[in-house]
Amino acid sequence: MDIPGRDKTHFRLNSCPTLFGEKLVIRILGGAGPQPDLNQLGLLPSQYHTVQHALQHPHGLILVTGPTGSGKTLTLYSMLQQLNTGTQNICTAEDPVEILLPGINQLNINPATGLTFSAALRAFLRQDPDILMVGEIRDEETANMAIRAAQTGHLVLASLHTSSTANAIDRLCNMGIQRFDLANCLNLVIAQRLIRTLCSHCQGHNSHHCQHCHQGFLGRSAIFELLPINSTVQEMVNQTASSQEIHTHNMQQGQHSLASAAQEKIQAKLTTLTEVQHIIEHSHEKNPGKALSLASGH
């Protein structure tokens, strides 16, 4: 659709017949808007360095995990944009394409015609790709194709619906992926949640009078938990360690949990305790509420 004063805008329409008439939901897609930037996602400095290091690997699998609406797609796009130097053959399978990335081969899957994520990956592998992105690993066939691609010299980025980094390993194993194969191709797992950020003008005080936000919050950022796959984690995966054991080891290596990343944002006065409490309730951290209370000075 062409809207005066704007670039071409893309919408996705879903309809559902209800007892009282047709229910329509229109989703506005990004189109050719501002390009995603890894620097702007909200990664802590140490996390940004870890992601950059993982992107330097010529092959392997990077997973981005979290619930629906947690910003996974934007993180995938930001990593692709970082990798998009003009010298790499980059292909994506998405449902749908949300942001147009010049120089990248983007494909909308269409299961009704047989063009599934796994079918798209199979086609891409015949086109000498360097980097592949899978919008979502939903089934065993797609998971197997992603692992196969990562094992045969390709860098694969994909999203997965799980609550934490360590749970992503269990999810793929439950899909039928062998632990040995997963341990040897997985480079990094990223878990994330979106949080509202405090308005820089009023900082949440007397916000109903603020002409910029009217509610105390303006914009969103993300909090992240990263699981880099080193030799110890590989061995733990092979030895069928539990997700809690892997999470505990990861925290002992100095990585931030979702709760501690949220704590950093609270201390920097970027958000509030109330905003992040419900987000980290189901994290692996044994007492995330205590850490957040300490961060807020309560």
Q: What is the pLDDT along the chain (298 residues), one digit of tens a residue?
A: 556 665 667 777 888 989 888 988 887 765 555 678 999 999 999 999 999 999 999 999 999 999 999 999 999 999 999 999 999 999 999 999 999 999 999 999 999 999 999 999 999 999 999 999 999 999 999 999 999 999 999 999 999 999 999 999 999 999 999 999 999 999 999 999 999 999 998 988 888 889 889 889 999 999 999 999 999 999 999 999 999 999 999 999 999 999 999 999 999 999 999 899 877 765 556 555 555 554 445 4
Residue where the block lists tokens 């944002």:
265
What confidence score (pLDDT) does residue 227 get?
Answer: 99
Domain parsing of the chain, residue ranges: 1-33, 37-258
d(CA 207, CA 210): 5
What confidence score (pLDDT) does residue 286 get?
Answer: 56
Task: Please enumerate in sequence order all residues whose Cβ is within 8 A of that of 180, keeping only pairs 6 or more positions apart, or say none.
Answer: 238
What confidence score (pLDDT) does residue 86 get?
Answer: 93
Residue 192: both structure tokens together:
């994330």
Tell me which architecture the domain covering 37-258 has in CATH: 3-Layer(aba) Sandwich (3.40)
DSSP bridge pairs for 15? 24
pTM of the predicted model as reported, rounded to 2 decimal places: 0.88
- Other CB atoms within 10 Å distance of the CB of residue 266: 22
d(CA 224, CA 164): 10
CA-based angle 41:43:45, to the nearest 5?
135
Instruction: Name the nearest CA neighbour of 151 among 53, 61, 55.
Output: 61
